[in-house]
Homo-oligomer: A and B are copies of this chain.
């Protein structure tokens, strides 16, 4: 069993070797994959992730009236004319039940595209880490954990989440590459105070300063949810099709 963790999608040099045919997990803890897990747990039917704002508007316009919601952020904030931003706290059952969410998220979408050849592609966050880890461990496949990072930068919250997922997976350490081992190690050392572990971290600090401190706390809450979202054929659902 081989288990690789990538600090960013850009750092996948040979996807044919390290992603194709595997159980891949895309991780964008602050906040895209947390939002995805929360929205599906709240009853959203599916999520269509797209890279660009204009593309999101087009996809939305093509869906039946009342069936869909436009979601996403730029610079951390809700996009003008969109129903929702990127705060997991907004995605309540009242808001999303039965709906399709058209969501634009730069880092997360890029990470999903980087995993195109995976046999299964799950979306992982701290809020559903153990559920995703168990699914990865039970798959019998090699695993690729792909951290979304921020514009190519390594972000601690995603590596901590990879550690939480791998830690719950039951996968053997001796199949793990260096970053997988490091992720498990720093997750275990910080499990008692995951929000505190982000002190000084660039993206958590940015969000707190922009008024989203409560989001950061929510996003670092281990195993709030038991949902495992899967991406397949352009959309994200709770089942893996």
Contact = CB atoms under 8 A, between A and B. Distances in A.
A182 B177 contact: no
Main secondary structure of the interface of A (DSSP, over half): mixed
Given A7-B179, A182-B186, A174 B200 contact: yes
A212 interface: no
For chain A, the bracket of interface size reads 20 to 34
A11 B14 contact: no
Contacts of A11: 7-8, 10-11, 152, 154
Given A10-B11, A11-B8, A178 B155 contact: yes
Indicate how many identical chains form the complex.
Answer: 2
B179 A154 contact: yes
Nearest to A179: B154
Contact of A7 (B4, B7, B200): B7
B7 A10 contact: no
A157 B179 CA distance: 11
Given A6-B154, A178-B203, 7 more contacts: A7-B8, A10-B10, A12-B152, A13-B153, A155-B178, A156-B182, A186-B186
10 contacts: A5-B154, A7-B11, A8-B13, A11-B11, A13-B151, A13-B153, A156-B181, A178-B202, A178-B203, A186-B186
